[in-house]
Amino acid sequence: MPISVTSPAPAPVQTAHALRTLYFVRAAFSVVWVSLVFVFVKSSPSLTAALLLLYPAWDVLATFGDIRANRGTGGTLLPQYVNIAIGSLTTVAVGIALRQGIPAVLIVFGVWAVLTGLIQLLLGLRRRRQLGGQWPMILSGGQSMLAGVLFVLQAHDPSKGVTNVAAYSAVGAFYFLLAALRLRKAAYPTE
């Protein structure tokens, strides 16, 4: 086992590195997910349903990554654990809503977007002091809450559907990419 001659990076730098990587992965996942939804939405209802179930389940996994990145920072991890519970319940609720139709799915996604947007907004505000570079996450949280309200309001409009959720995810991918880029300064403070 080699011995490191460099001292470990301070916690905020390690956290910024980990969050930066997580944000890049989340952005990439969303781009792939959105692409698959647009490819399969008209040709394969069963694959589209699987993608709708996958999205909140993926968010739960990504939140575990967020918790891991923030261990040892002294901050409370309660919002992330709440997000995991909400995402897990959302995955189950999407499964149930799929049996009732797209309007029910949009309502579930809408409620989920409002709740997780609020958590993201609060986390971004708290992390802004420690890490900086959080304005994309703050904006994304606010946008998520607004989109969630619109999903619920538009749930019974026949012109609205799964592509609205995909568009929402695409905007989320953009915010994750911006957040990853904004964390460069915190992740590489000597550059």
Tens-place pLDDT, residues 59-68? 999 999 988 8
Spatial separation of the C-alpha atoms in residues 140 and 124, rounded to whole Å: 9
Q: Residue 80: which residues within 8 A CB-CB, separation 6 or more? A: 63, 66, 67, 70, 119, 123
**For position 132, what pLDDT does the model report?**
65
Q: pTM for the full model?
A: 0.83
pLDDT digits (tens, 9 = 90+) for 102-116: 999 999 999 999 999
* Secondary-structure percent of the chain, ordered helix, strand, coil, rounded to 5: 80, 0, 20
pLDDT at 33: 96
Q: Please write the tens of the pLDDT for every residue from 8-21.
A: 444 577 877 888 89
All structural domains of the chain with their residue ranges: 11-183
Residue that is written with structure tokens 């995402």 in the block: 87
Radius of gyration of the chain (CA): 18
Where residue 185 falls among pLDDT bands split at 50, 70, 90?
Answer: low
**DSSP conformational letter for 75:** -
